[in-house]
Amino acid sequence: MPRCRVCGRRAKYYVPWSNAWFCPEHFIRYVERSVFRVYEKYIGGRHRRVLFAVSGGKDSVSLLHILAPKLLSEGVDVSILFIDLGIEGYTSKALKIVEENASMLKIPLIVSRLRDYGYTITDVAELYFKKLLRRPVCSICGMVKRYLMNRIAYEEGYDLVLTGHTLDDAAAFTLVNILSGRIDELVKIKPYNPGNHKLIARGKPLLFTYEAETKWYVEARNLPVLRVKCPYTPVEEGLVSEIKAMLHRLEERHPGIMRMYMRNLIDKLQPAISREIKESRLVYCSVCGMPSSTDPCGFCRIRSRILELKRGVEG
Ligand code: AMP
Ligand code: FES
Ligand code: ZN
Ligand code: ZN
């Protein structure tokens, strides 16, 4: 019977990248410590009003339970943001889970509704399936989420937004960027992006945390998480999911390789690449006033297109 590395009691979780067995209690501490270390190294204690973007999935729920109590104990003002994308049969379940987590931790919850901007992701999907929109639903949804996170954080006076992006997706995504030469996208995936006026600082404290760790963390702590997937998640995400599967196979033979890759990318490769890249110039969108590389911004452009198409379909 395997024994916990810390206390010698019966172990439940084997962590190959640390070659260690842990009981649930010490597994929880192990994950929390590793996330605190990332937070302290890359993000630090300079932020006083922190907004956790929580979708209800295992990653953002783990992040919330790992970091929010620590930040609260340091006197940081903490809130949760849930973006209601209006996805039928999905959003209401996700909101319930996020509400449950918010009340467990007694943290205020802000709900931002895409419907207030005149449409929902279900509308986007209908237009996409009718071939009236060419951009995939998830791609529009991702852009909308990034925009609303920043806008709400700015309007409500937060100085940091935290998301639950984990190692597995980030490793696969950055490798695809290397393969396809999208260097400017490659340098954007970081544990910390400092803010700049209306662009609020972003942190990804789980960037070195394996998805398996958040899966076991919510299990070990018996946290409420959303078990259903968004109906618009593509079955196959093309190259990204193939690379992810390849990384998982590599990981079996070389435990820790994904984390090593991410550390090298963040600490060595990105600083070298960034010196060669010109920062894209930001302008302020003439419609909504938010910072963007284009005018109107991506959010306002797609919104006016969707509202126009909806009027066409309905009228
Ligand atoms: P995803 O883009 O779905 O992989 O989500 C990445 C991260 O974005 C999650 O870990 C959350 O922190 C955040 N997020 C995703 N969807 C939502 C949502 N509906 N509301 C708030 N935050 C979200
Ligand atoms: Fe955005 Fe599924 S959550 S398309
Ligand atoms: Zn133990
Ligand atoms: Zn705009």
Burial of 114 (0-12, 13-18, 19+ CB in 10 A): buried
Residue spans of the domains in the chain: they are: 42-278
Q: CA quadruple 19, 224, 229, 239: dihedral positive or negative?
A: negative
Select the CATH number that applies to the domain covering 42-278 from these four: 3.30.70.141, 3.40.50.620, 3.30.1370.60, 2.40.37.10.
3.40.50.620
User: What is the rounded end-to-end Cα distance, in angstroms, of the chain?
Assistant: 68
* Assessment of whether the complete model's pTM goes beyond 0.85: yes
Which ligand is the nearest neighbour of the Cα of 145?
Answer: 1
Nearest Cα residue to atom 4 of ligand 2: 138
Give the closest residue (by CA) to ligand 1 atom 14.
55
How far is the centre of ligand 1, averaged over its atoms, from the C-alpha of 150 (Å)? 13
Q: Where are the alpha helices (DSSP H) in the chain?
A: 24-38, 58-73, 91-105, 121-129, 137-155, 167-179, 183-186, 211-221, 239-253, 257-264, 270-274, 298-314
Predicted confidence at residue 315, as pLDDT, reads 65
Q: For residue 308, what pLDDT is reported?
A: 96
Ligand 1 contact, 60 CB (< 6 A): yes
pLDDT at 49: 98
Q: Which residues lie across from 81 on neighbouring strands?
A: 53, 110
**Residue 171 pLDDT:** 97
* 164 Cα to the center of ligand 1, angstroms: 7
Per-residue model confidence (pLDDT) at position 106: 98
Write the DSSP string, 247-305.
HHHHHHHSTTHHHHHHHHIIIIIHHHHHTTSPPPPPEE-TTT--EESSSS-HHHHHHHH
What is d(CA 315, CA 302) in angstroms, rounded to the nearest whole number? 19
Give the Cβ contact number of residue 244 at 10 Å: 19
**Nearest atom (ligand 2) to Cα of 145:** 1
List the structure tokens of 105. 């931790």
Report the interhelical angle of 211-221 vs 58-73 (nearest 10°).
70
Q: What local confidence, expressed as pLDDT, does residue 98 receive?
A: 98
Pairing of strands 291-292, 201-203: unpaired
DSSP H or E run through 81: strand 77-84
Ligand whose nearest atom lies closest to the CA of 295: 4
Q: Ligand 3: distance of its center to the CA of 15 in Å?
A: 13
Per-residue pLDDT tens listing for the chain (315 residues): 899 999 999 999 999 999 999 999 999 999 999 999 999 999 988 899 999 999 999 999 999 999 999 999 999 999 999 999 999 999 999 999 999 999 999 999 999 999 999 999 999 999 999 999 999 999 999 999 999 999 999 999 999 999 999 999 999 999 999 999 999 889 999 999 999 889 999 999 999 999 999 999 999 999 999 999 999 987 666 888 899 999 999 999 999 999 999 999 999 999 998 888 877 788 999 999 999 999 999 999 999 999 999 988 776
Ligand 1 pocket check for 121: Cβ under 6 Å: no
